[in-house]
Amino acid sequence: MILKLQRNTQGRDWAVGDIHGCFRQLSRLLKMAAFNPTCDRLFSVGDMVDRGADSAAVLEWLTQPWFHAVRGNHEQLAIDSLLGDKQAEIRHVNNGGSWLLALPTAQRLACLAAFQRLPYAIEIADGAGGKIGVVHADCPDNDWDALVAGLENGTLPDASRNTALWSRERARNGRGGVVSGVELLLVGHTPQTSATRFDNVLNLDTGAVYGGKLTLFCLNDFVELSLPSEEHGLMEFQLH
């Protein structure tokens, strides 16, 4: 699944890094940005849930017409867990997913339905051939058009799907090559001390749930805003 949209000509488009249940912090950050829900849009790079205190608020956010998110590995773990995969359930709980099991059955099923609707990628076009892509971890084979085609026709290999959800190679190596087919690719997944660009790939996960900060990035003018985390302690990343 992929969501294709045109560039916002009525307001501003913003993207946010991994939220991980820090929705109250996100609300404050949007106020700082003077976000206008009547004309602005917000894009999430995925991993909206787990570890943070307000993960259950994800359902309310996903109902907002101005909020668009790609699927992250934590949403995928939640899906697999709710579909009865016991190993996925153990892994999910061990990585901050216990909030989901504590929900009433109706809310758990609502989360399952909402997460299953999430696309693996979002493409935002400007009408003149330029594109910005959004995916959780990375673009397989550095080929955006191939990723889009595979998602549209249902032929994307499992290995490519895993790259989109789980890959950390670019962030760990500090490079990975230019992704063709997009001017800029927005990702998260691997926490950075600040928004970090590798070639034309911008990682917006700045470790909010680990004591880092939550970061917004404006697609219109490339303005970046960050708010220090409410979480206490040092920014220690648990990469699973």
Please state at what angle helix 158-166 crosses helix 144-153, rounded to 10 degrees.
120
Is-contact 42 67, C-beta < 8 A?
A: yes
Query: If you count DSSP H runs as helices and E runs as strands, how many of each does the chain have, helices first?
Result: 9, 11
Residue in 74, 92, 136, 189 annotated catalytic: 74
Task: Annotate 84-97 with b (16+ C-beta within 10 A) or e (fewer).
Answer: eeeebbeebbebbb
Q: Is 240 a catalytic residue?
A: no
Interatomic CA distance for residues 202 and 154, integer angstroms:
27
- In degrees rounded to 5, what are phi and psi of residue 113? -65, -40
CB 132 within 8 A of CB 181: no
- Report the alpha-carbon distance of residue 22 to residue 57 in Å, rounded: 9
Catalytic residue set:
74
